[in-house]
Amino acid sequence: MKILGRTREWLRYDVPQTWVRRESRSVYRGQKQIWFLLRLVGRDCDVCLRKSEHPEFDAWRWNEYWVPLESVIEFKREVYGRALQELARYLSSSRARKEQAQRASRAASPIAR
């Protein structure tokens, strides 16, 4: 992997109470994340999610950069939107930058606060 860019600051979201496990002993409220834009410099078959005893993910897939926010769980949409907008400046193709400008000109905040 090659790091192309990262978000400048932590992006945070809160998990709604209905999603917090009642049997959990910890007080889990959400996450703060730094997002990275990466370029795969190897092959798809080089990706291995089983490098730790308890992997966080069990599958992966390629996706369009501008993932429709409607496909993201509601309480994470604002973070996804902010991360995609911020990291788009690192995209190399003029088409991707043009799409970013079009989205920014018509985009409202994905979640009203």
Please check whether residue 21 is in contact with residue 2, taking contact to mean a CB–CB distance below 8 angstroms: no
pLDDT value for 110: 41
Alpha carbon 15 to chain centroid, angstroms: 16
Residue 23 has pLDDT above 90, yes or no: no
Give the tens place of pLDDT for each residue, 65-101: 888 999 999 999 999 999 999 999 998 765 566 666 6
More reliable by pLDDT, 32 or 110: 32
Instruction: Say which DSSP state 10 is in.
Output: -
pLDDT digits (tens, 9 = 90+) for 24-45: 666 678 899 999 999 999 999 9
6: which 2 tokens? 């990262």
Residue by residue, DSSP assigns 17-75 as GGGS-TT-SS---EEEE--EEEE--S-GGG--S-SSSS-S-S------SS--GGGS-GG
pLDDT the model gives residue 102: 60
